[in-house]
Amino acid sequence: MPQANAERQERWRKILASDEVDVFVAELDKQVVGFVSAGTTHDNEGLQKATGEIYALYVSPDQQRVGIGRKLIGTALRGLEKRGFSEATLWTALPSARSFYEAVGFRLDGAEKVSPLVRGYYLQVTDVRYRCDLANKAVETDR
Q: Where are the domains of the chain?
A: 2-133
User: 131 with 89: CB under 8 angstroms?
Assistant: yes
CATH class of 2-133: alpha beta
Is residue 82 pLDDT above 90, yes or no?
A: yes
Ramachandran region, residue 46 (left: φ > 0; alpha: ψ -120 to 50; beta: rest): left
Tens of pLDDT along 10-30?
Answer: 887 888 888 889 999 999 999
Q: Is the pTM of this model over 0.95?
A: no
Ramachandran region, residue 28 (left: φ > 0; alpha: ψ -120 to 50; beta: rest): beta
- The β-bridge relationship of strands 87-92 and 51-59 is parallel
